[in-house]
Structure 1
Amino acid sequence: MSPVDEYVYIDYLAKVPDQLVVHRGEDVGAYARSYLACNGVRVLGSFPPDMCTTPALNDDPRLPNSGMTSADLYTPLYFVATRAMAQPLVSLGVVDLTDAGRISGWVWLAAAAILLYLSLRRWKVPIVVASGVSLLMVGSLPAYWSNTYVSTDATGLFSGALMLFAATLVVERKKFSIFLFTASAILLPLFKLQNIMAVGAAALFLLIAAGVNAFRTSSSMRSRVKGFLIDAWTRTAAVALIGAVVAQVLWMIIRDLIAVGPAPDQGISTPISIKSLVGEFFKYIPGVGTGALDPNGFGFGAWLAAVIMTWAIVGGVFGLLLGARKGSHAEALALASVAVALVAGPILAIALVITNGFYFTMPARYGISLLPFFLACLALLFARKAWLGYLMPVIAIVSYIAVLRIPAG
């Protein structure tokens, strides 16, 4: 099993048909306990054989969190969608529930790649570059860890790609684009709170673009401010952000109302300090490219894929920021990507303290929904030079092969 909380995610997935949602203070069910005991955890190794052969696993102190769930943080949306995709395979006897749930991760990833490709084509990125960048995302460490296992992170790349696509349609003034943008902004963080980073990046992109429009169409400061405030892009961004926050507050209320006990002590809480908040500023650029765990522990393939994605993120975002035409949408995209990547960590840390009552050093994988924005910057940068464009598929294929060479188990 993946060490990145897959144990409690599988439990949630198994409970969806009977109870829809897991509750704070609830014990992990028999299915997940048995699967954990018999299959072990990647990196950590196997559990004692007697845990698999002995039917009674209730209240076993050797289980994580003493057998309690920590997945009550999440709405049932991801798990309902995953169960719906997994159930046909289970019913036909093709695979068990866990493997069927893992296979559904491929659907989330494929949708993310398609949306990223479509977005880039609307930005007039050549086919070879758009294809290469989309393949690079598929063949990356973030995709490896998030879309290979049962994980709420599987929605991250999809969320980022969908918000990028929706924002692109908004600036193109396409019909129903504002509805798509707003609905996606409210819904996607309900799959996982951290997806709100993609909402923030897309909203800030619209706000910057609206500000540029107001600056260019008026000469006085008062007229510019008024123009910015009444711009449809400004209103769309504001409604989307407010809607996303309100939806999270409502889920927090529901989560408290249905709780059956206190949350387990996971042993990860640390005091929040100025130093820890400063560290959160620089977590996602380029840390998100390394995936869930330190790539140095998984061989040369993981190390190479991490190096490729690190340079892709840094070179793409800052290269476009420096090279894009002033006031262009490309510059707005780079600015929004950098700004949200910097401030999202501290904001999320403070939000977690408010909602959960404790702080912990957050992993870089929480910023996975920003990766499509980073890669879009890379694509726009490579699209500026014809000869550079043909390097993109080569780089992507190398990364893809490198990730496939990571040892299993």
Structure 2
Amino acid sequence: MHLLRTRAMPLSILMLVLGAVSMTALHVGAHPELSPVDELQHIDYLYKAPAVVHSGETVGQDAMREQACRGLATWPQTAACSTSATYDPADFQEGGNNTAAIYTPLYYSVTKALALPIKAVTGLDSLVTAGRLVGGLWLAGGLVMALLAARRLGAHPYVATAVLLAAASTPAVLLPAATITPDAAALLGGAALLWSILWWQDSPGRRWWLPMVLAAAVVALKALNILIVVVVALYVLLRAVVDQVQRRRDAGAVVTGPRPAQAAGLIGAMSVLALGMAIGYIAYTGVSAVADTSAVAMTERTTVDSFPLRATVEHLGVFVNVFFDAGSWNTMDFVGALSQRLLGLMTVGGVFGAIFVLRDASRTLRLTAISLLVVGTLGAPMIMAFSYLSQGIAVPIPGRYALSLIPAGVAVTAAAIRGRTASWAIAAIGFGCWALSMAFLIDS
């Protein structure tokens, strides 16, 4: 038992890496078809990376061939699989327009750089298959960084590992990891930024640079990852206020947290970098467009004439459950639905428990949970307001927009577990969800 305790972190990291890579590989093998979540456009960007895809650009022959040969359940098969045919973009979704032009080439370039050696070593005949396997590395990195964040919040390694493996088995996490989409990197971005803030607060005078770099990087991966930037910025603000109140109330108290000036400087820097990256790239896509996209079906579907007030109000609180709405495309059948619901209930309970129930919750844990609850309540309406003000569009908010929040939800939940019985129960549920999902994929 003592040996297991001393090796808890190395064993946990090994389990997370093997669990993520194996699950992703099984999903890639079981589901060669394209995902309907814009994977055609993302595949086109993967082939063209590291070049920038501009607004109005059409998908290339390589991407269209992947769809023609793999198939897409939500789109009629209008083109036969062929290695020599020249495809017409008009036969594909959105008239062949690459709607992924709103993203920077960062995710696609990194994925391609890792996929090409995998393709060469394994002899795979498709860059897409190799790129999907890279998703297992993105997922493994996200799980490991989430474990490190959970440990800083006080979670036991094995409890955190069980919950993280269960999270990896949910459709909300597994489908992005096993397909070509910048959502595959959201878990790693969110976990790394959360961990960096918890690491920074121990030495704010020397470690300020990492959260700044990561805040820009997570938004460069996908602008909607700005939600986790808001969470950590709010945490830094709350921590500074609480620490300052304690300093004034207890003149002799030793408060080791960041000083107000350090907190304000970091919040300002992260905000400028993250917002600058998000707004700047939106502006860039507009001025660098190679064709008018106003007639594209997606643009017509989402463009609105007035602010969507009712829809904005209806989206209040949907991200309190960070596993909200996996979407209609569930490759894991009832197993995925079960794990999604269990993880949603677990994390909502963990967040509320850390805030309102646990008397021995650390200041760091409670303030992280409060920050997550605030952004979970206001995050979706913020996205709707930003989308309307920046682009004049309104779309129903899918659960995948909250992917960067999942590491924080899982870390808080794992750290809120108290007692041997609860720890064993949560560990059993977590490992059980992962094992059931693995069995389902093996049998697929």
Tell me if TM exceeds 0.5.
yes
- Which residue number in structure 1 is paired with residue 389 of structure 2? 354
Q: In the alignment, does 2:98 pair up with 1:64?
A: no
Residue identity matched to 1:375: V
CA 1:402–1:279 in structure 2 vs 1: closer, same or farther (change >3 Å)?
farther
Alpha-carbon separation, structure 2, partners of 1:52 and 1:284? 43
- Which residue number in structure 1 is paired with residue 334 of structure 2? 300
Q: In the alignment, does 2:170 pair up with 1:170?
A: no
Aligned length: 397
CA 1:258–1:161 in structure 2 vs 1: closer, same or farther (change >3 Å)?
same
1:3–1:41 CA contact under 8 A, matched in 2: yes
The one of 118, 137, 156 aligned to 1:126:
156
The one of 132, 136, 139 aligned to 2:169:
139
- Which residue number in structure 2 is paired with residue 184 of structure 1? 214
- Which residue number in structure 1 is paired with residue 350 of structure 2? 316
The C-alpha deviation readout for 1:164-202, integer Å capped at 9, x for no partner, is: 101110222267431111110111111101111111111
- Which residue number in structure 1 is paired with residue 314 of structure 2? 279
Shift in Å, 1:229: 8.4
Residue identity matched to 2:58: D
Shift in Å, 1:104: 0.9
The one of 396, 409, 430 aligned to 1:374:
409
2:240–2:260 CA contact under 8 A, matched in 1: no
Residue identity matched to 1:387: T
The C-alpha deviation readout for 1:369-406, integer Å capped at 9, x for no partner, is: 10111111211211x32321222321112221343326
- Which residue number in structure 2 is paired with residue 4 of structure 1? 37
2:236–2:267 CA contact under 8 A, matched in 1: yes
- Which residue number in structure 1 is paired with residue 106 of structure 2? 77
Alpha-carbon separation, structure 2, partners of 1:256 and 1:408? 47
Alpha-carbon separation, structure 1, partners of 2:103 and 2:419? 44
Superposed, which structure 2 residues align to 1:3-402 within 5 Å?
Answer: 3-16=36-49, 20-42=51-73, 44=74, 47-48=77-78, 50=80, 52=82, 55-60=85-90, 62-92=91-121, 94-95=123-124, 96-173=126-203, 176-219=206-249, 230-263=260-293, 264-266=296-298, 267-269=300-302, 271=304, 272-286=307-321, 288-293=323-328, 295=330, 298-325=332-359, 328-382=363-417, 384-402=418-436
SS at match of 1:150: coil
Residue identity matched to 1:380: A
Residue identity matched to 2:402: G
Alpha-carbon separation, structure 2, partners of 1:343 and 1:328? 23
Alpha-carbon separation, structure 1, partners of 2:424 and 2:228? 28
Gaps of 5+ in 2: 1-33, 251-256
Alpha-carbon separation, structure 2, partners of 1:81 and 1:49? 30
2:146–2:191 CA contact under 8 A, matched in 1: yes
Deviates more, 1:309-318 or 1:172-181: 172-181
Alpha-carbon separation, structure 2, partners of 1:303 and 1:159? 25
Alpha-carbon separation, structure 2, partners of 1:150 and 1:164? 25
Shift in Å, 1:304: 1.1
CA 1:136–1:289 in structure 2 vs 1: closer, same or farther (change >3 Å)?
farther
Alpha-carbon separation, structure 2, partners of 1:39 and 1:287? 31
Alpha-carbon separation, structure 1, partners of 2:328 and 2:247? 48
Alpha-carbon separation, structure 2, partners of 1:303 and 1:125? 26
1:304–1:402 CA contact under 8 A, matched in 2: no
CA 1:276–1:289 in structure 2 vs 1: closer, same or farther (change >3 Å)?
closer
Shift in Å, 1:51: 6.3
Alpha-carbon separation, structure 2, partners of 1:398 and 1:46? 38
Shift in Å, 1:127: 2.3
Alpha-carbon separation, structure 1, partners of 2:239 and 2:202? 12
Gaps of 5+ in 1: 221-226
Residue identity matched to 1:265: A
Residue identity matched to 1:40: G
Normalising by structure 1, report the TM-score. 0.90
SS at match of 1:37: helix
2:350–2:413 CA contact under 8 A, matched in 1: yes
Normalising by structure 2, report the TM-score. 0.83
Percent sequence identity over aligned pairs: 24
1:287–1:310 CA contact under 8 A, matched in 2: yes
The C-alpha deviation readout for 1:328-379, integer Å capped at 9, x for no partner, is: 2211011100101111111111211233221111212101110111111211
Shift in Å, 1:284: 1.7
Alpha-carbon separation, structure 2, partners of 1:124 and 1:282? 27
Alpha-carbon separation, structure 2, partners of 1:200 and 1:408? 41
2:55–2:101 CA contact under 8 A, matched in 1: yes
1:141–1:290 CA contact under 8 A, matched in 2: no
SS at match of 1:177: coil
